[in-house]
Structure 1
Amino acid sequence: MIKYLSYLFLAIVLTFYACSNTKYLPKGEKLYTGGQVDIKNNDITKNETTILKGDLEGLLRPKPNGSFLGLRPKLYLWNITQTKKKKGLKAWLHKQGEPPVLVSSVDLNANSQILTNRLQNVSYFQASVTGDTISKGRTAKAVYTANTGPGYKIRKVVFPAGTSHLDTAVAGTAKYSLLKVGDNYNLDVIKNERVRIDARLKEEGFYYFAPEDLIMQIDSTIANHQVDIFVKVKDATPDKARNIYTINKIYVYPEYNLRDTSLKLDSAEAYRWFYIIDPKHTMSPWAFKNTVLLHPNEVYNRTAHTKSLNRFIELGPFKFVKNRFEDVSTADSPKLNVFYQLTKYPKKSLQFETLFRTTSANYNGTQVNLSYKNRNLFGGAELLTVTLFGSTDGQIGGQNGGYPLSQVGGQATLSWPRFITPFKDFKNDNAFIPHTNLTFGYAIVNRKSLYNLNSYNASFGYQWKENLHRTHDLTVLGITYVNPQNVTPVYDSISRVSNDPSFRHVIDPQFTWGPSYHYTYDNTTETSRKNSIFYRGGVSLSNNILGLVTGADTLKGKVKTLFGTPFSQYIKFDNEIRYFHKTGPNATIATRVFAGFGIPYGNSTIIPYSQQFFIGGANSLRGFRARSVGPGTVDAAAAAGPNGFLPDQSGDIKLEANVEYRPKLFSIVYGALFVDAGNIWNLNSHQPGDKFTANFLSQMAVDAGVGLRFDVTVLVLRTDLGFPLIKPWLPVGQRAVSPSFHDAIFNIAIGYPF
């Protein structure tokens, strides 16, 4: 009975909410609820009708008030916050609302003409459209009836047959034409064809040619509703647009100033195939040998041109690149001079940052960063970055402050904008500059009253982009050394009482030495895509050859050391894929799957703590405290030491999946409905329940929740409320739990979780 009363109450609320929007309408007016197009054409398929209908309805104006689940919250907000004041909360809320769209503002004739034009542009030359309104109470919609008539198809496409350079070049593009025999006539395709031909001609030296120099003549008098299309060069096309241009001289200005318009050609110094104009010698000329891709006496090529511009920016020191071409043709030789005028960032900069944060582990903290940059260290666009940092985190009101955690350290990275190898220089002619990176870092981690960890790291490797979407990271040699110090009797006592090996693993000496490689594919920056993906996968190795040479085998008691410390030996794989699907202009479904596993062997039975996987928290399982889940069916809370101190749970293997629905609610506010699942495991058993087995699916932790995102462009402030649904450490048959605010985890974070 209560269930049915709840449904009735909800129906009453929704009905009242829907009606409340119309009671504010001016007298005699009706709320416009949108337009509908009915297609009258029996010769096209149902799918074609649906696509055409969606295309036409997208052209209708005005747009009705936005709705969510059949309701119009922005209109309701506008209605209930009416005020004459221009400031204050009510005035601000009113601006976030949306005034009613009235049916009197709909121009049926104008919309009908727009739809008719659109139909004619997509092959329906005999189309006609009429419109009418249909009222229901105080609302009304517009209905348009489109009699399309027959669609006209392309019978043939004729390219120029002339013998001039330009006619021949245009005809040479026919093989890749967008205009296909048998396709419907489409004005948008014709426009795109002109752009395609122009882009191809730009690769062949026609620098001054433009899409407007082409005309597409249509003959629609052919029988059986067909058209012939004739691609022609306009007679009025200027001679400059008909010429094939070659490159004459190339000038690079590394110290260009917008207030200095002098070309200073008398100070030009020749270097290889281009000239440098840099009287103060601020940069070494060889820094540009991988950026200037145009060459003298070669035909102008737009691809080499745009790649060069991108490479100048990728080089690092330059904020702006101004590019100019100068026509220096002679009577029988069309030529261009090229000028690259580069405006620099300040060579040296110092940045100070202060960050405040609240973590899902109920820790509050602050971090300060001091960063120094030198963007042209040795005169070859080398970037030196030195960062000093300090942070502290603690629990307010927790026993012993949750044993506050503080870090102090620094890192220095030197990046060269080229490959540095003992071998022959790699040929690389895409739009991106490769980088060689050398990094050194040190940090001391202090957990008050428990332990200190000294962490050293160094790496040398390469990063390069294959194209806009594909990136490669190769660390030829990465070294990490973690040395525990000042482990207190308090921590020893916690470890003994809890009998959880996680406590000991945190303070194990760690020595990793080896290469790693990661590959990234990302097309999510193309916002026009309905479906986009991000993938990152890689492999890391440590001391594989050294372990083989020394015969390390910890299971047989043959533990080997390097510089007096047992070295870690493992191979580690990690894979993450994210998939984004737009369900509409203001809503997205985002999914993520992560699978990673490390295989310790030889000198190790578990991969080092710094390389292990963790799960839980604001960017993972949001219904569980950070690093509190797993491994396997281990109950972290049951392993808590004195004063309730919880270890950070880690494992050799990690599986995680997330799905999140992200609709825009209003203004800068987006909502979220999410479900997370995952866990971590060890490859070898170190405590009951932690080993990866065939029953891993039954050991997945699951949560669900809701959230809000405040997108202010420069950053996204995120809040999530997650509810545990499955707790893997509970006995079989009792792991599913009902959502409870008592167990809920509230997360505040910056940026999306994935």
Structure 2
Amino acid sequence: MNNSRLLSFIFLTAVASSCSNTRFLPEGELLYTGAKVNVEGKEISKKDRKALKSELKDLVRPKPNKTILGLRPKLYIYNIAPTPTKDKGFRHWLKYKVGEAPVFYSKVDLEYNKSVLQNYSENNGYFNAKTTADSTRRGKKASAEYIVKPARQYTIREVKFPTDSTVLATAIRNTNRRTLLKKDDPYSLEVIKAERIRIDGRLKEKGYFYFNPDYLKVQIDSTVADHKVDLIVKIKEEAPALAETPYKINKIIVYPNYTIGLDSLKDNTKSIKKHNDITIIDSTSMFNPRVFDRTLNFSKNDLYNRTDHNLSLNRLVNLGTFKFVKNQFAVSDTTGNYLDAFYYLTPLPKKSLRLELLAKTNSANYTGTELNLNWSNRNALGGAELLTISAFGGLEVQVAGQNNGFNVYRFGSEANLIWPRLVAPFKLDSPSGFVPKTKLTLGYEYQNRTKLYSLQTFKGSFGYLWKESDRKEHLLNLTEITYASPQNVTALYRDKIVENKSLEKVIEKQLIFGPTYSYTYTNTAQKRKKNTFYYKGTVDLAGNITGLATGANIKKGDTINVFNVPFSQFIKIENDFRHYYKLGPDSQIASRIIVGAGYAYGNSSEMPFIKQFFIGGTNSIRAFRARSIGPGSFDGASTNTNSFLPDQSGDIKLEFNTEYRAKIYGLVKGALFIDAGNIWLLNDNVEKPGAKFSKKFMSELAVGAGAGLRFDFSFLILRTDLAFPLRKPYLSEGNRWVMDKIDFGSGPWRKENLIFNLAIGYPF
């Protein structure tokens, strides 16, 4: 069958399947194919007509069956799929999840839709709009048409707030500086509703606990001028006295061991404790009262405000100690306008044991599994401290790569103690709902790289974690200590050291200690924003104070050892910036730039291997094997032709990634991407020609492109990417672009250039 006949066959089949949908219709029913909404008239501009048309079309109900190139495949699947006998299974999934039930014209209410369009027009200032509705039938299909003829839109001439001298009226009038109702803006009922909510929000900050937006009304005077309105904000007469009264805080009562029932609320002398302005009622004395003093933002005689109200609740939740957090306010029985605050807290089980089986991937293109056993104590020292002790063991293999067969086995243990406060001589008042935390970590890991060497790593850290807001987070480790001790180095690896001296530093004992700091900003949780960002900046300062104090200088032979190991001294800075541009509800463009540099000095001539930069692999430049690129124009593969390929590392890193993401069908999403970048050394290395960073760095960038699928199973995202290089930095200058050599039909080309990546989660 030639191409033209094949295309004709596909076209006729598609048309037939489309038409065949109507033969499944019940007697007397018509298939609803959708509605047209036209906005006519010259009273408003072409731009405003187009915008209004788009808004009105979204209001029409019901929505017709979904179409693809004019066809309705989901409806066709529904029609031909057998009716299931139960509410689960393949048949049910095929008919009701993949398929889509027909939308009948009998479900269309022309008059109702007409009134919806008319009301929307009037609610947006088109007070004299005229709307008509009609329908058209073609065979067994029917559609609707609505015509809206808006008159000139009314705009705001003046906004008037209450002028009387009552306390409430004055409080409302004082909010007008940030009013949403602006002079010359179009009249909008939605903006008026939002303004009432805004005023209520401001009043809640001034003690008006019982006020709500329904106690406000906005009168409209459309007689003041031609197509102009005055908006008059008033307090409804039926507003109760409670709503017009600002309140202060009197008693603050906490039940930290609350259960449903009366027993946990019994007050007796033994169960009552006073701490500053807080009364704690708990016969078990489970928590140190200081926990609530630090968490609750209210004090006696404070004016009630919603910010402190929500902040206190958020902090109680973020302690991670309570299963349920409930709060009530009641008018106090004391003289004056006072509220009593009650907090009912249901603790989580103090101790828990959890067993986890994980699937994982890492940047080195290794895929594997890990078993974790975690024990937790959520109130270890009586102050809501979280103590976790974990033991883990796992296996990682490189499914497709040069190191296939050089598997990694690892096991170890880690203990973390987190205080819900800063254990420090200084105080930090965070305005967010996140409690500042202090974290102590101790850990041990044994890693066996099959056929190469084993590595024992001890680590410890002590630092602080705090959030300014939902978007800004800080992590400061006053000290972070890593001690690595290699063992069981094989003859194979020692032979490779003879060929490549740089491999020796991988098995050197390493002692790294010093402060680290990272700052993270992100607004990616704001789903409605078209542009969202993520930024993480990290600074690692190892051995700096010790090096300065001891005068360590490896260049002069003045090397200082700690426990017979030279400590590392360096500065490392890394920046990770990401931008997400939303094209539609199911598509976006995601981009990332990584810039990092490390500088060794004093007691070190080189950055320690585990602190250097790497590039390539499943979460980096996907057209190249993990850690195989660079540094610079150096070709690491050329010296390792018949065994494992060592990881290439550098002191400087530059990486760019751009990815188009879109939903294909159901849980399947697709991506097209392009990656670029490289790493470099700061100093010359005779064993790695071309590795030093120079002004020619842009000509040494590796570039790759590809496509992939993402399977979103809600509990995890399984990612598959197929990529190929566009530019190889290790080729001679003038020959690095290899786009003219792309040949998907060639087996040797595919074997050398096509890289398959299997990973969990998005690359960025």
**TM-score calculated relative to the size of structure 2:** 0.90
Indicate the larger mover: 54-63 or 116-125.
54-63
| Distance in 2 (alpha carbons) for counterparts of 1:351 and 1:421 | 32
8 Å contact 1:414–1:438 — kept in the other structure?
A: yes
Cα RMSD for the two superposed structures: 3.0
**In the alignment, is the contact (CA less than 8 A) between 1:59 and 1:115 conserved in 2?**
yes
Q: 1:21 maps to what in 2?
A: 18
What amino acid is aligned across from residue 673 of structure 1 in structure 2? L
Q: Report the more deviating stretch, 70-79 or 429-438.
A: 70-79
Is the contact between residue 729 and residue 735 of structure 1 (CA under 8 Å) also seen in structure 2? no
Aligned equivalent of 1:441: 443
SS at match of 1:205: coil
1:291 deviates by 1.0
What secondary structure sits across from 2:591 in the alignment?
Answer: strand
- Residues 120 and 127, structure 1, Cα contact 8 Å, conserved in 2: yes
Look up the match of 2:255.
253
- Residue 680 of structure 1: how far off its partner (Å): 2.0
Aligned residues, how many? 746
Which amino acid counterpart does residue 328 of structure 2 have in structure 1? Answer: R
Q: Show CA shifts across 1:541-571 (max 9, x none).
A: 1122333344444445544433322222221
State whether structure 2 residue 278 is matched by structure 1 residue 277. Answer: no
Alignment counterpart, residue 178 of structure 2, candidates 176, 179, 183: 176
- Separation in 1, partners of 2:265, 2:437: 32
Equivalent in the alignment of 1:380 = 383
Q: 1:624 to 1:581 in 2, by over 3 A?
A: same
**Deviation per CA, 1:48-77, whole angstroms, max 9, x where unpaired?**
444333222221222233456776554454
1:729 aligned residue: 730
- Structure 2 CA distance for partners of 1:137 and 1:625, relative to 1, 3 Å: farther
- Asked whether 1:752 is paired with 2:754, we answer no
* Paired AA for residue 23 in structure 1: S
1:615 corresponding residue in structure 2: 615
Counterparts of 1:136 and 1:683 in 2: how far apart (Å)? Answer: 74
**CA separation of 1:559/1:622 partners in 2, compared to 1, >3 Å: closer, same or farther?**
same
**SS at 2:638 equivalent:** coil
Out of 708-717 and 610-619, give the one that drifted further.
708-717
CA–CA distance in structure 1, aligned partners of residues 42 and 53 of structure 2: 14
Summarize deviations over 1:555-601 as a string: whole Å, max 9, x none: 45544433322222221111112222222222222222222221223
Q: Is the 1:325–1:337 Cα contact (8 Å) retained in structure 2?
A: yes
Give the SS at the match of 1:244: coil
Q: Say which is worse superposed, 32-41 or 203-212, in terms of deviation.
A: 32-41
CA contact (8 A) 2:730 2:736 kept: no
1:418 corresponds in structure 2 to 421
Partner of 1:506: 506
- The CA distance in 2 between the partners of 1:116 and 1:475, in whole Å, is 61
Q: Take 2:403 and 2:682, find their aligned partners in 1: how far apart are those partners?
A: 34
- CA shift at 1:676, angstroms? 2.2
Amino acid across the alignment from 2:584 = G
Deviation, 1:211, is 0.7
Instruction: State how far apart, in whole Å, the 1-side matches of 2:681 and 2:141 are.
Output: 62
The verdict on how the C-alpha distance between 1:401 and 1:222 changes in structure 2, with shifts beyond 3 A counting, is closer
Following superposition, the deviation at residue 265 of structure 1 comes to 3.3
Partner in structure 2 of residue 60 of structure 1 = 60
Matched, 1:232 2:234: yes
Conserved 8 A contact 1:606-1:684: no
State whether structure 2 residue 290 is matched by structure 1 residue 286.
yes
Q: Residue 200 of structure 2: SS of its match in structure 1?
A: helix
Deviations 1:502-548 (A, max 9, x none): x3332232222211111111111222323221111121111223333
Q: Distance in 2 between matches of 1:494 and 1:204?
A: 73
Tell me the distance in 2 between the aligned counterparts of 1:356 and 1:426.
Answer: 39
Which residue number corresponds to residue 523 of structure 2? 523
Aligned pair 1:371/2:374, yes or no? Answer: yes
Specify whether residues 401 and 597 from structure 1 end up closer, same or farther in structure 2 by C-alpha distance, changes over 3 A only. closer
Q: CA deviation at 1:85?
A: 6.2
Residues 23/361 of structure 1: CA separation in 2 closer, same or farther (3 Å cut): farther
Match of 2:663 in 1: 664
Seen in structure 2, the aligned counterparts of structure 1 residues 551 and 262 have a Cα distance that, compared at 3 Å, is closer
Deviation at 1:228, TM superposition (A): 1.1
Q: State how 1:469-484 maps to structure 2 within 5 Å.
A: 469-484=471-486
Structure 2: segments with no counterpart, 5+ residues: 745-749
Name whichever of 448-457 and 667-676 sits farther off.
667-676
The change in CA–CA distance for 1:304 and 1:8 in structure 2 (over 3 A counts) is: farther
Residue 609 of structure 1 and its aligned partner are, at CA, apart by 1.5
> Pairwise mapping of residues 217-616 of structure 1 onto structure 2 (< 5 A)?
217-260=219-262, 263-266=265-268, 267-329=271-333, 333-357=336-360, 365-394=368-397, 402-423=405-426, 425-497=427-499, 499=500, 501=502, 503-616=503-616
Deviation at 1:103, TM superposition (A): 5.7
Query: What is the aligned partner in structure 2 of residue 683 from structure 1?
Result: 682
The alpha-carbon distance between structure 1 residues 10 and 422, as it changes in their structure 2 partners (threshold 3 A), is farther
The share of aligned pairs that are identical, in percent, is 47
In structure 1, what residue type is equivalent to 2:305? N
Alpha-carbon displacement from aligned partner over 1:597-632 (angstroms, at most 9, x marks no partner): 212233334321211222222222233322222222
| Structure 2 counterpart of 1:718, one-letter code | R
Stretch moving more, 405-414 or 118-127: 405-414
Q: Cα–Cα, structure 1 residues 242 and 88, in superposed 2: closer, same or farther, change >3 Å?
A: closer
**Contact 1:41–1:148 (CA<8 Å) still a contact in 2?**
yes
Question: Taking structure 1 as the reference length, what is the TM-score of the superposition?
Answer: 0.91
Structure 1 residue 114, shift from structure 2 partner? 1.4
Report deviation, 1:393. Answer: 2.5
